[in-house]
Amino acid sequence: MRVSIVVDGERVESDPEPRLLLAEWLRSIGRTGVHVGCDSSSCGACTVLVDDLAVKSCTIFTVQVAGRRVTTVHGLTPADGLSPIQQAFSDEHGLQCGFCTPGFVVAVEALLREKPDPSDDEIVEALEGNLCRCTGYLSIVHAVQRAARLRRGESASVVAGAGHETPLAVNTVQDRAVQENMSESEVV
Ligand code: FES
Ligand code: FES
């Protein structure tokens, strides 16, 4: 089926197999920042925006986004540096191996478009579909808070990790999710 999809602002014409997953198609056209970390729709590493909605691209077929706008982490990365979200992840140590990070960056973009000043609970809820094996999540929540401040034009000169009131339950809940949903063998 011939499809026309706007990917990261560029119109792409393609003829994908009907059952080709969007994640695989995006990687085949060079969007290798779209990571595939599981086969159970649980890790969120493949998250992209379809129009303004965060979607796990391993859960839909390419033909289902015909005529839509798809934005990957590539489209959210400035040519000359880091976006405020990426800078905040770096500043707050919101990544270690970085495998999960593209998915988080996209999911955070969707959150901050809808809620420029999210609460801790709203951040945790928005990112519950994204798993990270490395960070323990607290630094990711701090990174989102910092990114939100940056995007609102506020000073981000708060010492990394200081002054935050993230619920301790974040670690407990998310760590359990990692253990249950993402065994070692699922990471590719
Ligand atoms: Fe899509 Fe894990 S690769 S949720
Ligand atoms: Fe390694 Fe998140 S930084 S999985």
Q: Could you give the 3-state DSSP secondary structure of residue 53?
A: strand
pLDDT above 90: percentage of residues in the chain: 80
Atom of ligand 2 nearest to the CA of 95: 3
**CA of residue 149 to ligand 1 center, whole Å:** 29
**pLDDT value at residue 164:** 52
Average pLDDT over residues 97-121: 98
* Residues in contact with ligand 1 (CB, 6 Å cut-off): 36-38, 41-46, 56, 58
Domain boundaries, the chain: 3-75, 84-181
Which residue's structure tokens are 């809620």?
A: 115
Atom of ligand 2 nearest to the CA of 37: 4
Q: What is the pLDDT of residues 152-178, one digit of tens each?
A: 999 766 545 444 544 444 444 444 443
| CATH number, domain 3-75 | 3.10.20.30
Atom of ligand 1 nearest to the CA of 59: 1
C-beta of residue 94 within 8 angstroms of C-beta of residue 108: no
| CATH 1.10.10.1100 for domain 84-181 | no
Read off the pTM. Answer: 0.85
